[in-house]
Structure 1
């Protein structure tokens, strides 16, 4: 499969979002940009450019899944603990199979805590922004684009719901998920569905009307 490589010009994102401080957490709880090369980025095209992110991964990747870290997953298994209120202990992951420039698909795992930050309760693209430390109750649509979370507005603040399009933040870097200069690690792609917070009786999506 031949992939046409187009030239890439990316503007640096200069400000890093700083996560808000969240309420004290208990411990314990398995795991835009329109610059695309047929939605696959190559190393030469972004050499020396680590100040931004490009997006477009969902246009070329398949089997996109959202999983919790092992410690957070265990916390959900411990009945009722932390559901809907406590921030994550560690970054959740996005997992996907993406074609490289040779057309071969491979699986990679990306920590999405490396891709966004919480700025006053709003998720924004940020290099290693660690939004997960102040957000909770996240939901993911299987197409990999729509991601909903509730994030604290500050210390002692309220939770604010917001939706981001991960396809504007995460890109396919020669078969690996990537954001800014953070790259997904090659790994096994589980065949199961994404983590679904709705199974714990929590409805994260806003009800309209």
Structure 2
């Protein structure tokens, strides 16, 4: 059982999975511009703000392994991506070595994406509030 202090701490941290409500995930044009869309808390009306983050800004395909990197552009060498929003896990088939060889790889997005001022962000990138 979580102690009240621990529960309060989790609500105040920068982990978007703890603080925001999942809206949707999309792959964008030709499955090359994946994004996540969450609704995150504001301290003033309307008390929630949509936040949509382009994942190419945050993730790279490093020889078949997804990892965090600013403007990584992973989608150009990955396909069939899905997002398990309950645990924040992005799963893709990504090229490694030979561009026609793919393997399944995943990345927990809370390693690279955070909540700042009611918006999702990664590295120096901020999300769009035009959702």
Q: Which category of TM-score, normalised to the shorter sequence, fits these structures?
A: 0.7 to 0.9
Corresponding position: 1:146 with 2:98: no
Higher relative contact order (CA 8 A, sep 6+): 1
Give the distance between the partners of 1:105 and 1:62, measured in 2 at CA.
9
Shift of 1:154: 3.1
- Between the two proteins, the alignment pairs up a number of residues equal to 120
Give the distance between the partners of 2:62 and 2:100, measured in 1 at CA.
12
Q: Alpha carbon RMSD of aligned pairs, Å?
A: 1.9
Give the distance between the partners of 1:62 and 1:128, measured in 2 at CA.
25
Distance 1:128 1:37, change over 3 A: farther
Query: SS of the counterpart of 2:99?
Result: coil
Shift of 1:155: 4.1
Query: Unpaired runs of 5+ in structure 2?
Result: 1-9
Higher relative helix content? 2
Distance 1:168 1:64, change over 3 A: farther
The TM-score normalised by the length of structure 2 is: 0.82
Give the distance between the partners of 1:112 and 1:67, measured in 2 at CA.
10
Q: Judge conservation of contact 2:11–2:19 (CA < 8 Å) in 1.
A: no
Shift of 1:166: 0.9
Shift of 1:156: 3.2
* Aligned residue number for residue 165 of structure 1: 108
Query: Unpaired runs of 5+ in structure 1?
Result: 1-35, 41-55, 73-87, 189-209
| Runs (4+) off by over 6 Å | none
